[in-house]
A and B are shown apart, each in its own frame.
Chain A
């Protein structure tokens, strides 16, 4: 096996092994605040989903005879799961800022998902739902911004020792990069297929940064 093929495999499996970093830190430091629990659940579910995504994608190379030959529904499901778990995370932070809006958002999102996939898009289509992912990253971006705004207003300043700061910063970096990619995804797919593949690697790098920040959050917590 050549160096380039090893490197390629590392990149392919990035979305799986990147998740193992915060999981490993969590297993070393199991005592975490309650509000971090949705993030922990998300990590384990994301690990399973990403593993399935790669298994379906590389089923022929791996010699697997899977029933499913399309991993895009799993990507869509991952997007829904991510938003729900991070909504719970932001609600559990109990920041007295836009609390009503934060409580309604997950329900509105689920309503949007149902309407979108019943009337406008096919859930099992052969590409990821750009609309779903854009809305999801847009909402997550809103959550992150309101977190920082509240912290700016707050009189306390002990953010470095707080796991929530690291989780939100990691999530912010991920969604800041992902949002434009998802927004232009359909157009790029039609016009610049090669560029989509390249830019997806950037998105993977953002996902790695996201995982590293979550690991830092778990590590920071005493």
Chain B
């Protein structure tokens, strides 16, 4: 083999060898970087979940505290006031005072009822005693009571509570969503259904009011006054689920998908 042929072959081989080594080192370096980035990302997600969980837990504790104060203290004072008013002898009163006495009693009854309702909403007694389905049904019926809104509930009876904390989060999301719908959408009909499907719990709230799209939801939850939507999103993240807002053929729909078998509160 002549010198020049040998030189060319050696040159090409050396260049290829150098390049291959360089490429392998490059790929190895990139893989290490990628692994590191994945670890950082996972740590960040873990930290975010812990923060959300702490926020949700403290919110729940605060709700319980307010509910207990309302029920045990404000409720007790109102009940005692009612007893005192009831003990007033009305026979000696004139017509005007009798009317004022009756009105005061009526207002106290209303106040007591209101305190009890608020306390029940804030507390999750029904949820703990009767389960998620019954709590949702009760909340829907209580909320639309006295309005012309038609409510339909179709909840999967096969749903069994896996983790009580998860049920509280789902219940709070539904509470927030229904309150938002009533406040902003002005619907005539609301339907809530739930279904267990391949280890996921699918919850859909459908109404004929003025709903929002997913894009609007994304925009609204970054706004200052979008605290409710932010809370919903936080709970969705905490449950490792997903939420989707849509408007199809004039019907607005919110669909929540929650994994039912996995443990979310790590």
Contact = CB atoms under 8 A, between A and B. Distances in A.
Does chain A bind chain B? yes
Interface of A: 148, 151-152, 155-159, 169, 172-173, 176-177, 179-181, 183-184, 187-188, 191-192, 195, 199, 202
Interface string B9-43: 00110011001001100100111011001000000
B26 A192 contact: no
A188 B9 CA distance: 12
Contacts of B22: 148
Given A180-B15, A183-B11, A187-B4, A169 B33 contact: no
B147 interface: no
27 contacts: A148-B23, A148-B26, A151-B26, A152-B26, A157-B30, A157-B31, A157-B34, A157-B37, A158-B34, A169-B23, A172-B19, A172-B23, A176-B16, A176-B19, A177-B15, A179-B15, A180-B12, A180-B15, A184-B4, A184-B11, A187-B4, A191-B2, A191-B4, A192-B4, A192-B5, A195-B5, A202-B12
Q: Give the size category of B's interface with A.
A: 10 to 19
B15 A159 contact: no
B188 to A, nearest CB: 44
A1 to B, nearest CB: 33
Contacts of B30: 151, 157, 159
B88 interface: no
A176 B16 CA distance: 6
Nearest to B15: A176
B8 interface: yes
A157 B2 contact: no
Given A151-B26, A177-B12, A184-B8, 13 more contacts: A148-B22, A148-B26, A152-B26, A156-B33, A172-B19, A176-B16, A180-B12, A184-B11, A187-B4, A188-B4, A188-B8, A192-B5, A202-B12
A192 B2 contact: yes
Contacts of A184: 4, 7-8, 11
A192 B8 CA distance: 11
The 10 lowest CB-CB distance pairs between A and B, nearest first, are A157-B33, A180-B11, A157-B34, A157-B30, A176-B19, A176-B15, A180-B12, A184-B8, A159-B30, A195-B5
Instruction: Classify the interface of chain A: helix, strand, loop or mixed.
Output: helix
Given A148-B22, A183-B11, A192-B2, A177 B34 contact: no
Nearest to A202: B12
A181 B2 contact: no
A60 B60 CA distance: 88
Interface of B: 2, 4-5, 7-8, 11-12, 15-16, 19, 22-23, 26, 29-31, 33-34, 37
Contacts of B31: 157
B144 to A, nearest CB: 46
A173 B31 CA distance: 21
Nearest to B22: A148
Contact of A181 (B12, B19, B26, B29): B12
Given A180-B8, A180-B11, A184-B11, A155 B33 contact: yes
Q: Which of B8, B22, B26 has the most CB of A within 10 A?
A: B8
A164 to B, nearest CB: 13
A180 B34 CA distance: 35
B8 to A, nearest CB: 5
B108 to A, nearest CB: 66
Nearest to A145: B22
A191 B4 CA distance: 8
A174 to B, nearest CB: 11
Nearest to B37: A157
A192 B30 CA distance: 43
A13 to B, nearest CB: 24
A183 to B, nearest CB: 7
B132 to A, nearest CB: 39
B16 A181 contact: no
Contacts of B15: 176-177, 179-180
